[in-house]
Amino acid sequence: MTQPLGRCPAALADLGDGNLAGAYTIWPVPILVGNRVVRGAQSMDTMTHPQFQGQGIFTKLATACYEHAADNGYEILYGFPNPLSYPGFVKKLGWSHIGDVSHWVRLIDLRGIQQVPTILTPFVNLALTCLPSGSSRNFDISHDRPEDPDLERLLAAWNGGSKACGVHRSLDWLGWRYATDANNDYAWVCAYANGNLAACGVWGMQNENWGEVADKRAHLVELLGTDRSALLAVVSTIIGAAKTRGAVLLETLSNVEHLNLVLKRTGFFRHRKAPFIVRALGRAEPAVDVLTLENWQIFGGDIDTF
C-alpha cells in the first residue's frame, strides 16, 4: 500500500562511487495538534559507515533532512532514541527530551529466552500461569477487522480524547500501518456486546520472512475503546493468541492511563522508561504546547519498531 503521507524524507551522504557514508530517514506520521491534523514524522533510521564515524555526518544529514521536511510542510517530529543517538539529538540537533513513556511487558513463555536456565524454565512458566490475563466472558470475540462505521466510532473517541497531541488514527492510516506486507502478521481482535463493537485491538509478531532476526516478541500495537471489561476481553484474547504463536512475551508502549490500568489487570509490568523527544519544524508556533508530555497520547504502534 502507498504511505498516506507520501515518501519518507531522507538525506544521504553519497561518496560518488555507488557507496554511502551515511543515511538518515524520518517516517511520515499524521499528528493531531489541538484540532488540527498536521504533517509530522518519527525519527527512524540513522546510519553512519564505521569508516566515517566521528566526522559529524549524522548531524549534517539530520539537519539536511529536517530542512527538506520543513520545506515540504512537515511541522512536528518525535522519536524514541537509543542511548547512542540520544546525545546527538538533544545536544546538537535541537530536540527536547520532554519525558519518558513506559515500556510494558507481559511474559508468556520463557522457553525461548536464553537468559533463563533450562532447568528453571518449567517452574518459571508454571509461575506465569498465575499471572492475571483478564477474561473474555460476556463478549463475542471476532478476529476480523471491524466494519468501517464501527471502527470510525472508536477512532473518534481516541482522537477526541483529553490529550491534545498524538498520532492521528484514521481508517487509511490503520489500513497502511498494519498492512499484510509489513511481515509482522498483524491481527485484529474485537469484542462485541449485543452486536455492538465495544473495543478492539491489533497485535503482531515478526514472521518467517525476518529470518534469524525474528525474536518471538509479540507487540500490542492498538487498543481502542473505553469499556474496561471489553478492553480486558481483547487483551486476554491477544495474550492467548500470542501464546499459541509461540511468543515469549507481549510488549507495548503506553502513557494512556485507562489503558495502563487494563495492562496491569492482565499481568503486564513496567519494564523500563523510553525517552520521548520532540522537535518543532514549522515556521509558526503550534497552537498546543508540543513540548509537554502530558499533552501527548502515545500507544504501541506509535513507535516504528512495533
Tell whether 256 is covered by a domain.
Answer: yes
Contacts of 114 (CB under 8 A, 6+ apart): none
H helix or E strand, kind and range, residue 193: strand 187-193
Tell whether 9 is covered by a domain.
Answer: no
Residue 193, amino acid: A
Nearest to 60 by CA among 130, 12, 99, 129: 12
Tell whether 163 is covered by a domain.
Answer: yes
Question: Tens-of-pLDDT digits for all 306 residues of the chain?
Answer: 567 788 888 988 888 888 888 999 999 999 999 989 999 999 988 888 888 888 888 899 999 999 999 999 999 999 999 998 899 999 999 999 999 999 999 999 876 555 544 544 454 555 555 566 666 678 999 999 999 999 999 999 999 877 889 999 999 999 999 988 888 999 999 999 999 999 999 999 988 887 777 788 999 999 999 999 999 999 999 999 999 999 999 999 999 999 999 999 999 999 999 999 999 997 767 778 999 999 999 999 999 888
Contacts of 120 (CB under 8 A, 6+ apart): none
Q: How distant is the alpha carbon of residue 228 from its chain centre?
A: 21
Tell whether 196 is covered by a domain.
Answer: yes
CA distances to 95, 197, 283 from 71, rounded to whole Å, are: 18, 42, 10
- Round the CA-based radius of gyration of the chain to a whole number and report it: 20
Domain total in the chain: 1
CB atoms within 10 A of CB 297: 21
Chain position carrying cell 509558526 = 284
Q: What is the pLDDT of residue 120?
A: 46
Where would I find the beta strands (DSSP E) of 118-160? Answer: 140-142
Domain around 156: 102-274
The predicted model scores a pTM of 0.89
Q: What is the pLDDT of residue 14?
A: 86
Tell whether 67 is covered by a domain.
Answer: no
Q: Count Cα neighbours of 232 within 13 Å in the Cβ-side half-sphere.
A: 16
Tell whether 61 is covered by a domain.
Answer: no
CATH assignment of the domain containing 143:
3.40.630.30
Q: What cell numbers appear for 165 in the block?
A: 497531541
Tell whether 205 is covered by a domain.
Answer: yes
Tell whether 299 is covered by a domain.
Answer: no
